[in-house]
Amino acid sequence: MVSFLKEAAAVVPTKRQLDWFDMGFYAFVHFGMNTFTDREWGDGTEKEEWFAPTALDCDQWVETVKQAGMKGLILTAKHHDGFCLWLSKYTEHCVKNSPGAPDVVGEAARACKKGGIRFGVYLSPWDRNSPYYGTPAYNDYYCSQLEELLTGYGELFCVWFDGACGEGPNGKRQVYDFPRYVELIRRYQPQAVIFNDKGPDIRWCGNEAGVGRISEWSVVPGELCALAEKQTGPGPMAGEGSLSHLYNTDKFLGGLAGILYADSLAFVPAEVDTSIRKGWFWHEEEEPKSLEKLFQIYKASVGGNACLNLNIPPNREGRMDERDVKRLKELGELLRREFGTPLEASVEKLEGGYPTQPEYLIRLARPVSHVRHVILEEDIARGQRIENFRIEAMFESGSQFPLFQGTTVGHRKICTLTDPFAQQNRLLDDRADKIDRLLVRVTAARDEVLLKSVKVY
């Protein structure tokens, strides 16, 4: 039992996963035929000339996402309608037949490079235009397109595979050759993380509403992420990677044949993907989510052992909508205000605890009337371990009381003690007494705790 737990605690990320985790927050950009037809899913019969941005400005995209503190951008190079935003040699259904339209993938890649953020691509496997769809020849077609993207636009940080698999123009569904796609990506862009419902590098959080799990584990049974299962595998579960999930899944014991990690535990962290608006594509009447909502989403994802992929859809000009630009600017300011500069403090690990139940004393350089957030980070390069923890406040008067109770930490846990959007906070009730220390108590862990940092705001 104990050795099994230690085994789970010792599963570590790859370099590309660590680099991805450190990005934290990046943009999804849904732009394409649907922008012009006012739809969410095109059917593949759209005419190429309908794609007609009047003032495409990818530098404005990059400026906008940078203002919100995002570190990368993933563009929908091809959505389910099969229309390609680059000059593909393999189809006529692409921007080369849209008068006046440039290679949008090229433009976006150039703007990201210039702006110093990373670039990634979304290439929908589901294609409602390709005549090959539903036959083995489609996998060749898809790989040729993937190769164009992997070799023509510099370094990519992510290739995002949409899970959707519907019918194509001939009424057939496709069996996607994911292992072949993965092999191609590893060959040309080994540093890129691959997103798919269940991995191999990052997995879906299970909803598109921006809701992160309360306890998010990066180590999950390998079968969950075995790509062979992709077409039939179980849907996202509430407790992926939790103890009961790990204990009660027999599949990683070797029962089921998987391709990549089928017989073992795997480090496959979650991505939370959601749109700033209701839809993924731009629709005039839709409004951006409130600042409060976006802040909540950010904390539950970036501050919940996941990354946040927030979609901002360009409009028909080819620019990000001014309403979204304004909201993202506000978000960037809020994030800088809340998390920009931690309070000056020292962290001391107290003597004598069990390795799985350490206590850390944080001494603030100057006592404060309240604490807004505490951010904890584990050294996940050596595994994710913390199951439960508490944070207590210690006052100048000597009194002490609990402020926060949490479960997983992982890459980063944002513990909010005084929510800037709350109408009332009982911790602030007229206390003359000030907080001069905090105690972080880990109450359960899978193995020796390796905390990387504790920051107080």
Contacts to ligand FUL by CB under 6 A:
40, 162-164, 273, 280
Nearer to ligand FUL, 190 or 234 (CB): 234
Q: How far is the CB of 197 from ligand FUL (least distance, A)?
A: 9
Residue 359's φ and ψ, nearest 5 degrees, are: -125, 140
**Cβ neighbours of residue 298 under 8 Å, at least 6 residues apart?**
25, 308, 331, 335
Nearer to ligand FUL, 106 or 163 (CB): 163
For residue 141, the Cα-to-chain-centroid distance in whole angstroms is 28
Residues 186 and 158 sit within 8 Å (Cβ to Cβ):
no
Minimum separation from the CB atom of position 124 to ligand FUL (A): 7
CB of 179 to ligand FUL, least distance (A): 21
- 196/215 with CB nearer ligand FUL: 196
Q: Which two tokens stand for residue 451?
A: 């905390």
Report CA-CA distances (Å) from 373 to 343, 403, 457. 10, 10, 5
Q: In which residue are the tokens 């292992």 written?
A: 179
Dihedral angle of Cα 17, 264, 453, 373, to the nearest 10 degrees: 90
Closest distance between ligand FUL and the C-beta of residue 278, in Å?
12
User: Residue 36 belongs to what H/E stretch?
Assistant: helix 33-37
Element (H, E) at 305: none
CB atoms within 10 A of CB 365: 10
Q: Measured from the CB of residue 290, what is the shortest distance to ligand FUL in angstroms?
A: 21
C-alpha span between 4 and 22 (Å, rounded): 28
- Residue 280: CB minimum distance to ligand FUL, A: 4
Nearer to ligand FUL, 77 or 454 (CB): 77
Our CB check for ligand FUL shows the closer of 176 and 280 to be: 280
Nearer to ligand FUL, 162 or 229 (CB): 162
